[in-house]
Amino acid sequence: MHSRFRSDRRLTTRMGITLFLLGLLYVGFVAALIVLLKSWVLVVVVAAGLLGAQYWFSDRIALYAMRGRVVEREEYPGLHGVVDRLCALADMPKPVVAVSDMDMPNAFATGRNPDHAVVCVTTGLLRRLEPAELEGVLAHELSHVAHKDVAVITVASFLGVIAGLIVRFAFYSQVLGGGRRDQNTAVIFAAVMGVSAAVYALSFLLIRALSRYRELAADRAAALLTGRPSALASALTKVSGDIARIPTKDLRTAQAFNAFYFTPALGREPGVARLFSTHPSLEQRLDQLGRISAELGEAAAPGEV
């Protein structure tokens, strides 16, 4: 499937390298677990099952976690109208449209390919943005679908998820059952925890590096498709400012899905969290949009990319 979103070879290269490195890490991780747990059948079946579920049901999992629901045209005609126009402009299949009843202004795209994709916006976003700003945000999300980086980030995040789950399981097993375990079992659990923690850390860094670039690529593609980078910049400024005013405790549930969001769910004082952010800084994103605006002169007709 070829859309009118401008292709990004650097994004494609980064996705390929990330998947290759994560694939090597995944094979090594599974091999280490087989050696430590001495049950290749259990490890392979569980790992393959979780990977399959992550790939095939990622859209449903994300919608459920973020309290999103599919909406029809009759309920949100304006939202569907914008998506219809952008999909026609980009010459791509229309994704399922969903709305999450959350005050946090944000949006995300998920799904394994352009034919099985979902674009979801929060009610908080719909209340705050002007039509041109909403168009810019939705064009950003649709570019993730067209570039297929949504599927890549979904698969890439799987390894970190399973490693994190194993670390937690090993930790609580030791804490709750430490008195009943012999020394050999304790050593095995400690080794599993160590390997899982290392894999989680490496996958975390690889995903962050890809995620930050893909957000810049999506901003660029959206600005060029719509021909209005200033509208996207306005949406970014407005959404980032409003999110910063939402109490941190209300953002904690959303933060697990930061890699998928239009802008990260960070509190008033993110501090060191910015160093490991899934997104480039607001300043970087606005600088890029400013350069595109200067190149286009804000005079390019929508779709002339």
From 72, 74, 135, 141, active-site residue:
141
- Report residue 212 as tokens: 């930050």
Q: Annotated catalytic, 283?
A: no
Task: Tell which residue, 104, 111, 113, has the closest CA to residue 121.
Answer: 104
CA 176 vs. chain centroid, Å, equals: 34
Is residue 116 annotated as involved in ligand binding?
no
DSSP string, the chain: ---SSPP-HHHHHHHHHHHHHHHHHHHHHHHHHHHHHS-HHHHHHHHHHHHHHHHHSHHHHHHHHTTEEE--TTT-HHHHHHHHHHHHHHT-PPPEEEEE--SS--EEEEESSGGGEEEEEEHHHHHH--HHHHHHHHHHHHHHHHHTHHHHHHHHHHHHHHHHHHHHHHHHHHHHHGGG--HHHHHHHHHHHHHHHHHHHHHHHHHHHHHHHHHHHHHHHHHHHHS-HHHHHHHHHHHHHHHHTS-HHHHHHHHTTGGGBSS----S--GGGGGG-SS--HHHHHHHHHHHHHHHTT-SPTT--
Torsion of CA 174, 179, 182, 186, to 10 degrees: 20
Active site residues: 141
Binding positions: 140, 144, 215
Binding positions for Zn(2+): 140, 144, 215
